[in-house]
Amino acid sequence: MTVDTRKGHPEAGRPLTLRGENLRRAWYRFSRHPMSVVGLVMVAAIILLAILAPYVTPYPKHAGAFVDYRNAGKPPSAAHWLGTDVFGRDILTRIIFAFRGALVMGIGVLVLVVPLGVVLGLIAGYAKGTLLETVIMRVTDVFLALPPLILALAVCAVMRPTLFNSMMAVCVSWWPWYTRLVYGMTSSVRNEFYVKAAELTGASRFHILFREILPNCIAPIFTKMTLDMGWVILTGASLSFVGLGEQPPKPALGTMVSDGAKYLPAQWWIAVFPAIAIMVVVLAFNLLGDGVKDMLATEEGS
């Protein structure tokens, strides 16, 4: 057994830039764990399937209002790889269509939440000691007092159940996490010399925040975003499990699981396959996120 003493290791401390050699290097770091590549492939597959859903699924009409009671509740077979549900709809098709809603929720939430959260975090961290910081961080604390799922549930519960509303609900509960993350990093970085240098040369606050501080925080933000795709989708599935998301007949993964739960254990495929689909999506983004973390990690011993 050898003891790991990476400090002083010759490879330590390379800075992050994006140019040809460094891109190859970045790929090397990313692919160090083959599972990350698996994650990348899985995510790509999910996205492709979702975009091309009407063209790649065997029964695209089943994703809408469709009933065929003769075929209802059939176990997995050659015609229906994952079986059919109680309305006779092909489960595989519905799962792939459900990916659409899931991805839309993930991307939608992150697109809204990340800029807002990051900007607030930057401002709060930079304005440390002022009233502005206190206000921002206390409000953030209030939103952080509850785990995202519960807050999203509460918000969602008082609105009409639609995909859009459940997205809004998740947004409300998700933004503070980015603020807190960026706030922490900004406050520790704000006293570094390069920030002081920029201040002394009269750089505008915009420049300091976005050109000096932010680039140093990018890595954890990206990692979190990648991982969050999976978690947001999971939260969305939990919401639709209870009936608070995309409404029928449009397919949603959580709804499919809760509908199918009634028919356990006899017609297990109705609930189990959507559940596995949820797991696969979250797993894919998790693996990808690990790879992103490896790729962006540049400190010694990371």
| Residues contributing to the site for other proteins (CB under 8 A) | 1-11, 25, 28, 35, 138-139, 141-143, 145-150, 153-160, 180-181, 184, 230, 234, 237-238, 241-244, 257, 261, 264-265, 268, 271-272, 275, 278-279, 282-283, 286-287, 301
Q: How far is the CB of 206 from other proteins (least distance, A)?
A: 26
* Nearer CB in complex with other proteins: 226/286: 286
Q: How far is the CB of 204 from other proteins (least distance, A)?
A: 29
Q: How far is the CB of 18 from other proteins (least distance, A)?
A: 17
Question: Which residue type sits at 187?
Answer: S
CA distance 152 to 235: 8
* Nearer CB in complex with other proteins: 57/124: 124
Q: How far is the CB of 110 from other proteins (least distance, A)?
A: 18
CA distance 88 to 181: 47
* Nearer CB in complex with other proteins: 14/205: 14
Q: How far is the CB of 29 from other proteins (least distance, A)?
A: 8
Q: How far is the CB of 207 from other proteins (least distance, A)?
A: 27
* Nearer CB in complex with other proteins: 209/257: 257
* Nearer CB in complex with other proteins: 57/287: 287
* Nearer CB in complex with other proteins: 139/203: 139
